[in-house]
Structure 1
Amino acid sequence: MAGQEARHRKSKGSSQRGNKSTSPFIEEDEFEVESHSCTWTILKIFVLVLFASFLILILLPSPIDPISHRFPEAPALEGVLKPNDILSKAQHLYQNEVLGPESIVIKGDHMYTGTADGKILDIHKGEIRVLARFGQEPCGGFENEPTCGRPLGMRFDNDGYLIVCDAYLGLHKVNVATGDVHVLWPHTAPIDGELAKLFNAVVIASSGMIYFTHSSTRWDRRHFRFSILEADMTGRLIQYDPVHNTTTVLASGLSFPNGLELSRGEDFLIMAETTKARLWKYHLSGANKGAMEIVNNNLPGFPDNIQKSSSGGFWVGLAAVRSRDRFSMLEFTAPYPWMRSLMAKLPQEVMMKMLPKYGLALEIDQSGKIIRSLHDPTGEKVGSTCDLADKDGVLYLGSYYSPYMGKVYLTQQTKKS
């Protein structure tokens, strides 16, 4: 009997073990274990790849040697800077016909601009023609930009010639009737012993004297983000005398000097210093002749080109916005050179995505005070404002990267005092 019970218990145990091995619940447990194991393997691989990427980022040498600097607290978007939707109503002109119309000059019924593919364009009653080209084809690529050329600032002189700063190829004079080009100051000619790597903005006095900025002696236009991340201070303000073919350094030690404009009385220049988000005044005459002063030390963005406004002030384009209620990677990392050294190793496309998406343009008075602001809070229509030219109640917007030109109708409602 005892043997039978033992055999019964053994048989029952065998039956239970057999049932356990075929239970669907046990199979689910085994599947979950395998699933968790697979998840952990993927997670480990991801962490290893992330760690390896970070290690490579740390070990790779940085292309820049940044210096520490600080910004004042960014202004709040209130008062004259209160957001509106004026730029949100912008029209896009010449879509895919103009690539990066950096600077805009209007003369009569003609509009002139320079593009990313090295062309000077003459736009007349909607018709576009190529007026001139300073460099050689092929054009339109990162590698060939220095030989193709990149026209930036431009203005007319008293004789009707279009004076143009090409970022790579220097200062030029263009006959707008024939398209003939004459080099005034080539990029190969040193200025006070140093070569300019990035010719930028230009203005011409009634006397014929030409003033221009060059943004760096270290970085060319393709690498302008490096100049800004580095807080490079090799930019200068230059005077060019076309009669004697000489250059004079008026100011040096600037961090990406950019836009430039003459006052209506030609007694001073207004100049943008992009990296520091501020505006300078350089006195050309009077008791302060030759002196410089900061007229706005805390702009709500990083200034680009400057042009006279029809209402008596100056338009200031902003390449990127900065405000008290928006995080700015450039401001946050300004006191920490090591962080900017790491940022410089990232692809330029990644760095561009760090910029806030917001369109903003300013009008300032003669003293540098902001008197009007135009906004696109979404950045969908106007992501940045490079240059602004107004005529007959219409404001035209330039861009160093967009495949179009912007157009906004200015009304009395947009004019703030």
Structure 2
Amino acid sequence: MNFCLSFRRNSTKGVQANDSTGRLLKYDMGTNQVTVLLINLSGAVGAAVSRDGGFVLVSEFIGDWIRRYWLTGGNAGTSDIFLSNLNIVRPNNIKRTILGDFLIAAATVTQGSQTLVPIKVRIDGDGRISEMVSLEAQYGSTPISEAQQSGLSVYVSSRGVNFVGVYTP
């Protein structure tokens, strides 16, 4: 199965309009059938399936949360808010790591100036935050769009810069 998100092409207009027309779609390659799993998503921009295939996480950029859609088990076919944290806003793409936890490209609001600062967030399969790293020194207030782990390194990208950040332990 493949999962796809549908959201406005012009994300700036979507944010300004508080758009909630996003959808989570499931494509079955065997039958060529597309099934709508979720509707009315607030700026759905990223999705990642859990290691065991039990759920898919969907980041809602406008809603400022991560939604979980259950694929198997007693909750199959239902969704809930997986992560909603006042310190994490504008969650963008979400990626599962080789360890089974998740990396989220997001932002946080600085206390003094109330400006958005890009962060990379690591959460486990239960929604517990294990790492939240500010990327303000490297990206200023430019939002990041992706944090992807490969081996021990994490690659961070943004549509607003002409480089890719590489972070190693």
Match of 1:367 in 2: 126
- Kindly report which structure 2 residues correspond to 1:279-298, keeping only aligned pairs within 5 A, or say none: 279-298=66-85
SS in 1 for 2:20: coil
Amino acid at match of 1:395: V
C-alpha change, 1:369 and 1:325, in structure 2 (3 Å) is farther
| Larger fraction in strand | 2
C-alpha change, 1:287 and 1:384, in structure 2 (3 Å) is same
Match of 1:306 in 2: 94
- Kindly report which structure 2 residues correspond to 1:12-411, keeping only aligned pairs within 5 A, or say none: 209-216=1-8, 220=9, 223-298=10-85, 299-318=87-106, 320-327=107-114, 356=115, 358-380=117-139, 383-409=142-168, 411=169
- Note the C-alpha offset of 1:284: 0.1
Kept in 2, the 8 Å contact 1:300–1:323? The answer is: no
Amino acid at match of 1:236: R
> What is the distance in 2 between the residues matched to 1:237 and 1:257?
8
| Larger fraction in helix | 1
Alignment identity in percent? 23
Task: Give the structure with higher Rg (CA).
Answer: 1
Kept in 1, the 8 Å contact 2:55–2:69? The answer is: yes
C-alpha change, 1:293 and 1:301, in structure 2 (3 Å) is same
- Note the C-alpha offset of 1:296: 1.2
- Note the C-alpha offset of 1:400: 2.2
C-alpha change, 1:240 and 1:379, in structure 2 (3 Å) is same
- Note the C-alpha offset of 1:371: 1.1
C-alpha change, 1:401 and 1:308, in structure 2 (3 Å) is same
C-alpha change, 1:357 and 1:323, in structure 2 (3 Å) is closer
Amino acid at match of 2:133: L
SS in 1 for 2:144: coil
TM-score calculated relative to the size of structure 2: 0.89
> What is the distance in 1 between the residues matched to 2:158 and 2:79?
29
> What is the distance in 2 between the residues matched to 1:278 and 1:259?
11
> What is the distance in 2 between the residues matched to 1:229 and 1:297?
21
Cα RMSD, aligned residues only: 2.0
Deviations 1:307-344 (A, max 9, x none): 112443100001x43355442xxxxxxxxxxxxxxxxx
SS in 2 for 1:302: coil
C-alpha change, 1:233 and 1:260, in structure 2 (3 Å) is same
C-alpha change, 1:309 and 1:381, in structure 2 (3 Å) is farther
> What is the distance in 2 between the residues matched to 1:401 and 1:394?
21
- Note the C-alpha offset of 1:401: 3.0
> What is the distance in 2 between the residues matched to 1:405 and 1:317?
13
> What is the distance in 2 between the residues matched to 1:310 and 1:241?
24
Kept in 2, the 8 Å contact 1:234–1:255? The answer is: yes
Kept in 2, the 8 Å contact 1:240–1:246? The answer is: yes
- Note the C-alpha offset of 1:259: 0.8
Q: Which runs of 5+ in 2 are unaligned?
A: none
Deviations 1:274-320 (A, max 9, x none): 001101110000000000000112252201111112443100001x4
Amino acid at match of 2:143: S
> What is the distance in 1 between the residues matched to 2:139 and 2:110?
19
Deviations 1:29-64 (A, max 9, x none): xxxxxxxxxxxxxxxxxxxxxxxxxxxxxxxxxxxx
TM-score calculated relative to the size of structure 1: 0.38
Deviations 1:138-162 (A, max 9, x none): xxxxxxxxxxxxxxxxxxxxxxxxx
Aligned length: 168
Kept in 2, the 8 Å contact 1:359–1:377? The answer is: yes
C-alpha change, 1:325 and 1:268, in structure 2 (3 Å) is farther
Task: Give the structure, 1 or 2, with the largest relative contact order (CA under 8 Å, sep 6 or more).
Answer: 1
C-alpha change, 1:380 and 1:397, in structure 2 (3 Å) is closer
Q: Which runs of 5+ in 1 are unaligned?
A: 1-208, 328-355, 412-417
> What is the distance in 2 between the residues matched to 1:369 and 1:323?
22
- Note the C-alpha offset of 1:215: 1.4
